[in-house]
């Protein structure tokens, strides 16, 4: 139960994750992606939940606006939530976020990213998992030979389009070591795959590159939901951030000691 004065973060899918935020700044130093909304609970707020977190998406959510309440059937991202409730955007649902099962698949993505690095490629890896938890397809970056579209998330979208029916694609989850680039986000949305879970965000990677004085790529690293607003997204997984960061540093600075 949220208490008065506690800070919360509104995240994709209408979930609210309690966090310890010392201030209400625009971007607290907690690995929280830009675009997520901070809100401070006050005494008159009545917070409850109405959702079945066993379903993929959308999540039916009970959004409370001051002392009123409004039933929203399709809260799939912050923009919809913000539009639905105006200047005080918040919804309370059971915190789901990244589960231990998700972490297992993300660890495999990091292993694939490591394999890519060892083969002289950029360290990205991705896994496609069906609604029953079965791994259907996995791949890692293969851009070193000159085709810069050979991203694992793009390969997953191609494979899914050829091998899965629409219902199975919508119920599947794509796990990846790094958040989809705009090209891969668009491919994911066009084939109507389901949830995306990533270990490290594009924002995190951009910050690391800036810190290391490495030039960014030729494409603006927009968040998944800017490109594909209907896709449910979870990430980053802070437990794996250090591992992912180390792989990218090794790619850009191979002379550094391990």
Judged by phi (left if over 0) then psi (alpha if -120 to 50, else beta), residue 21 lies in beta
b/e per residue 40-63 (b: at least 16 CB within 10 A): ebeeebeeebebeeeeebbbebbb
Tokens of 257: 């000691």
Q: What percent of the chain clears pLDDT 70, i.e. is strictly above it? A: 62
- Residue 51 confidence (pLDDT): 30
Provide the domain limits for residue 226: 100-252
- In which order are the strands placed within the sheet that holds 37-40? 16-19, 7-10, 37-40
Residue 110 and residue 211 share a domain: yes
Position 201 pLDDT exceeds 90: yes
Position 26 pLDDT exceeds 90: no
- Would residue 1 count as lying in a domain? no
Domain count, the chain: 2
What average pLDDT does the structure give for the chain? 72
Position 195 pLDDT exceeds 90: yes
Cα-flanking dihedrals φ and ψ of residue 248, to 5°? Answer: -70, -35
What tens digit of pLDDT does each residue of 64-114 get? 333 233 333 333 333 333 333 333 333 333 234 688 899 999 999 999 999
- Would residue 242 count as lying in a domain? yes
Residue 121 and residue 59 share a domain: no
Residue 104 and residue 27 share a domain: no
Q: Give the span between the Cα atoms of 130 and 100, in whole angstroms.
A: 16
User: Which of 74, 92, 108 finishes a domain?
Assistant: 74
Residue 49 and residue 117 share a domain: no
pTM of the predicted model as reported, rounded to 2 decimal places? 0.65
Residue 59 and residue 133 share a domain: no
Inter-residue contact 229 to 188 (CB < 8 Å): no
Kind of pairing between the strands at 233-234 and 195-200:
parallel
Nearest to 249 by CA among 123, 125, 148, 151: 123
User: Which residue did the predictor score with more confidence, 247 or 237?
Assistant: 247
What tens digit of pLDDT does each residue of 154-178 get? 999 999 999 999 999 999 999 999 9
Residue 115 and residue 18 share a domain: no
Q: Work out the average pLDDT over 28-52.
A: 35
- Would residue 198 count as lying in a domain? yes
Position 209 pLDDT exceeds 50: yes
């Amino acid at each position: 139960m949220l208490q008065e004065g506690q800070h919360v973060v509104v995240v994709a899918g209408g979930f609210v994750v309690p966090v310890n935020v010392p201030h209400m700044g625009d971007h607290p130093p907690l690995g929280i992606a830009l675009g997520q909304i901070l809100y401070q609970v006050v005494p008159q707020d009545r917070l409850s939940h109405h959702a079945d977190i066993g379903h993929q998406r959308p999540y039916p959510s009970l959004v409370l606006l001051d002392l009123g309440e409004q039933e929203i059937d399709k809260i799939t991202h912050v923009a919809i939530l913000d539009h639905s409730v105006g200047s005080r955007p918040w919804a309370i649902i059971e915190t789901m976020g990244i589960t231990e099962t998700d972490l297992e698949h993300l660890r495999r993505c990091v292993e694939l990213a490591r394999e890519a690095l060892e083969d002289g490629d950029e360290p990205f890896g991705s896994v496609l998992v069906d609604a029953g938890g079965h791994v259907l397809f996995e791949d890692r970056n293969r851009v070193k030979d000159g085709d810069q579209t050979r991203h694992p998330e793009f390969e997953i979208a191609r494979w899914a389009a050829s091998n899965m029916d629409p219902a199975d694609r919508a119920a599947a989850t794509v796990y990846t070591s790094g958040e989809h680039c705009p090209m891969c986000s668009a491919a994911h949305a066009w084939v109507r795959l389901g949830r995306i879970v990533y270990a490290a965000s594009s924002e995190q990677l951009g910050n690391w590159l800036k810190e290391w004085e490495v030039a960014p790529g030729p494409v603006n690293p927009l968040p998944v939901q800017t490109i594909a607003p209907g896709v449910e997204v979870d990430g980053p997984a802070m437990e794996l951030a250090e591992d992912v960061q180390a792989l990218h540093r090794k790619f850009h600075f191979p002379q550094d000691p391990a």
